[in-house]
Amino acid sequence: MGRLKNKVVLITGATSGIGEAAALRFVNEGAKVFLTGRREDVLSLLTEKLGKESADFLAGDISKENVNREIVEACLKKFGRLDVTLLNAGTEGAAAPIPDYPIEAFDELMAINVRGVFLGLKYSIPAMTQSGGSIVITSSIAGLKARGLGNSAYVASKHAEIGLMRTAAMENARNGIRVNCVLPGPTETRMMRAIESNRSPGAPEKAKEEVMAGLPIGRYGTVEEVTNLILFLASDESSVCTGGVYTADGGLSAY
């Protein structure tokens, strides 16, 4: 308890999965959280659950520059500071070989996964410069490995997130701002359900069996397990960690 006591945390993609789990865990660890995502109704319910003294939200599309600026401004207005940013929003996109991949789908995925992270860094960093803090980017094992077929845009975006992280870490190390990436492997989330459906239309359970067969631990991770790692990087326990790529992938990156 209390590993984030008196810390203010901004979380993107907070409406489900890892983002929602992180919000719940962080408040339990003493943090105040400012949440964002596209679904205002879900954010409102989560804020009520967390308690309005500990949480607030602003719905919006993080691929838009004005939304990122407004989110940080609203967080500072509500809580007076920003100590941790979890850039968690992302999408899996379409599934198709490169020659058949729709340009519009490619651009939409890049806008969310890459432009959204860039803008999150652009507006979070100035808010953290005076006091320092931690920025954690939820990337993916796809940032290291091009696993599966038909996911070129997703794989490219996750590699790009790692590049943004490393650049931001080097630019801000002397400012006391740490920047790291967490790379989940297959995890029990809505996104993984969508990936399974893309890989095996009409029989997603078959895709899940195939994925699990290739996992050294023989199972998917949970959002709580991924959040454990994010919590470490968000907290002062990881004060010497910056510019790092941390996997939570059940051993998938070992081979």
Question: What value does the mean pLDDT take over residues 153-164?
Answer: 97
pLDDT given at position 213: 73
Chain segment 196-218, per-residue pLDDT in tens: 676 667 767 776 777 767 788 88
Tell how far CA 105 is from the center of its chain: 20
Contact 182, 246 (CB under 8 A): yes
**Tokens 């290291």, residue located:** 144
Confidence (pLDDT) at 215: 81
Q: What is residue 255's predicted lDDT score, i.e. its pLDDT? A: 81
How high is the pLDDT of residue 186?
85
SS3 content of the chain, % helix, strand, coil (to 5): 50, 15, 35
As to burial, measured by CB atoms within 10 angstroms (0-12 exposed, 13-18 middle, 19+ buried), residue 104 is exposed
Question: Which residues are known catalytic residues?
Answer: 154
> Which whole number is the average pLDDT over 15-26?
96
Show the CA angle centred on residue 23, arms to residues 20 and 29, nearest 5°: 145
pLDDT value for 193: 73
Check residue 188 and give its pLDDT: 80
Express each pLDDT in 60-116 by its tens digit: 999 999 999 999 999 999 999 999 999 999 998 988 999 999 999 999 999 999 999
Q: What is the pLDDT of residues 29-46, one digit of tens each?
A: 999 999 999 999 999 999
pLDDT average, residue stretch 222-234:
97
Per-residue pLDDT at 200: 65
Mean pLDDT of 120-139: 96
- Strand 55-57 to strand 133-138: parallel, antiparallel, or no bridges (unpaired)? unpaired
Give the predicted TM-score (pTM) of the model. Answer: 0.93
Q: What is the pLDDT of residue 212?
A: 67
pLDDT at residue 160 greater than cutoff 90: yes
